[in-house]
Amino acid sequence: MYPFFRVFMAVVRARRQGPLRPGQVHSVRTRCWPWDIDPFMELNNGRSLTLMDIGRISMFARLGLRRLLAERGLRLTMAGARVQYRARVLPFAPIEIRSRVLGLDARFILVEHLTLTRGRPAHHALYRVAVVGPQGLVPAPAALADHPDEAWRAPAPDWAVGWSAAENAIPWPPELADRTD
């Protein structure tokens, strides 16, 4: 089940922390609860992404981005992710999710998440966040062109833009869609 209560509480806490600017780090603390684990007695990899949702949603609350876009009939959705799992997160271990907006590429807002347990990096993810409206995808630079904070117009680092470009090179629909054997 999706952790709506955890998301809600993270957003409430985030609003108390005050505004955030792109590039600044937002941090959320939680714990690996029994309902977060898989049969191998560690944080389930899908739940890890869900915990990153909590970091991203509460970060966007501090950035004020969702409200600004909603006024224009726009919203955010995930357009791609790249994840590295490097260390186990065990039951009841403390977790910190650090999130930040890296910048923009030609179409997306690029966001970085780092999951730490006991102060050590465990999981790392890059997300492509799309801005969408009634007509479909709106390039992020166009959607944020008149944002009063110029930090929203900063390009993402080359390594993040390179990853996003590599995502564009993957065929869609996937070749597997035509396979029935």
Query: What is d(CA 62, CA 52) in angstroms, rounded to the nearest whole number?
Result: 15
Provide DSSP, 125-167. EEEEEEEEETTEEE-HHHHTTT-S-GGGGPBPPHHHHHHHHHH
pLDDT at residue 178 tops 90: no
Parallel, antiparallel, or unpaired: how do β-strands 109-117 and 94-104 relate?
A: antiparallel
Average pLDDT over residues 26-44: 97
pLDDT at residue 179 tops 90: no
pLDDT tens for 99-152 read 999 999 999 999 999 999 999 999 999 999 999 999 999 999 999 998 889 999
The pair of three-digit structure tokens given for residue 25, joined into one six-digit string: 């780090």
pLDDT tens for 162-174 read 999 999 999 989 9
Average pLDDT over residues 11-39: 96
pTM score: 0.92
Give me the percent of the chain exceeding a pLDDT of 90.
88
- The CATH number of the domain covering residues in 4-170: 3.10.129.10
Boundaries of every domain in the chain: 4-170
Predicted confidence at residue 68, as pLDDT, reads 86
Query: What is d(CA 105, CA 164) in angstroms, rounded to the nearest whole number?
Result: 8
pLDDT tens for 50-84 read 999 999 999 999 999 888 899 999 999 999 999 99
Predicted confidence at residue 46, as pLDDT, reads 95
